[in-house]
Structure 1
């Protein structure tokens, strides 16, 4: 099973993912962003604003996640923001076609909490994260349809992870 943690940048996806790996037996971590980082080192690809704009990124993520899930078994936890509905549907369809069970959670926090978290984080990433809050707000309607919204406002990552773990417990292998 895949647990995909979506949500805006700075909401706590990676921290919650680490807690989930500690909480759920046979859980493993994978960061799809690393596929994008790898592709940025390739020459000959078209210039894009975000590596997710490459169809190749989405294809490789589906293939990698499918093979990794087969290899390690258990639960694979992925923290990755996807704010373009078409891209999410492509990834979801690829995983469904491969027969990989997917649980999609959207971590959410109120704007004041997000601002506090982002501004308290690494200064080099703060501006970029703040610049994407509007795109997240615009994506929230479809994210709420495609995933289970989890409000993280005032809840520490361990509490968010416990909630998600309890939600997926009946589906765990």
Structure 2
């Protein structure tokens, strides 16, 4: 199973992924940002966002499906996909390869989200970039009819429990 934890930047994806992984036997985290970091020295994105590179999206699909096929345990993926077309491309590609992909989207009220971004000391260098993408993320996620949302304004342990409960309900 691939559990994709989506949500705006600052919603708590990495924290949730860490907690979920500890509760699922054999689960591992895979962060597609590492694919982007690998590409950055070789390929320049005109927008500055590696998600805009078709090669990044292709490699994410290939990496996720390869991991799922060759190392079959639960993969937890904390990654914001705020472009609907990219989300569709990646998810359709993973599912077309036969992988069991499940997504949850962490939802946080806008002001709380902005406060989290401002208070984050780990990702301080990305603060402005993350703030600049809040509106797009919230707009994108509000438009998704096929998504399962988890209230991430709660304490991290409760968020992780809600994510796990959803995964257990889904076939």
**Is TM-score (shorter-chain normalized) higher than 0.5?**
yes
Which has the higher mean CA deviation after the structures are superposed, 99-108 or 109-118? 109-118
- Matched position secondary structure for 1:10: coil
Deviation at 1:169, TM superposition (A): 2.1
Is the partner of 1:146 in helix, strand or coil? Answer: coil
> What is the TM-score when the length of structure 1 is the normalising length?
0.91
Number of equivalenced pairs:
169
Instruction: Show the counterpart of 1:130.
Output: 131
1:43-58 counterparts in 2 under 5 A?
43=43, 45=44, 47-58=46-57
SS of the equivalent of 2:145 reads helix
- Cα contact 1:13–1:80 (8 A) shared by 2: yes
Shift of 1:96: 1.2
3-state secondary structure, aligned to 1:48: coil
Report the counterpart of residue 87 of structure 1 in structure 2.
86
Partner of 1:4: 4
Q: Cα RMSD over matched residues? A: 1.6
Q: Show structure 2 runs of 5+ residues with no match.
A: none
Distance (whole Å) between structure 2 residues aligned to residue 57 and residue 104 of structure 1 = 20
Alpha-carbon distance between aligned partners in 1 of 2:47 and 2:87, rounded to the nearest angstrom = 18
Indicate if the aligned counterparts of 1:26 and 1:73 stay in contact, CA closer than 8 A.
Answer: no
5+ residue gaps, structure 1: none
**1:63-82 residue pairs with structure 2 within 5 A?**
63-82=62-81
TM-score by length of 2: 0.92
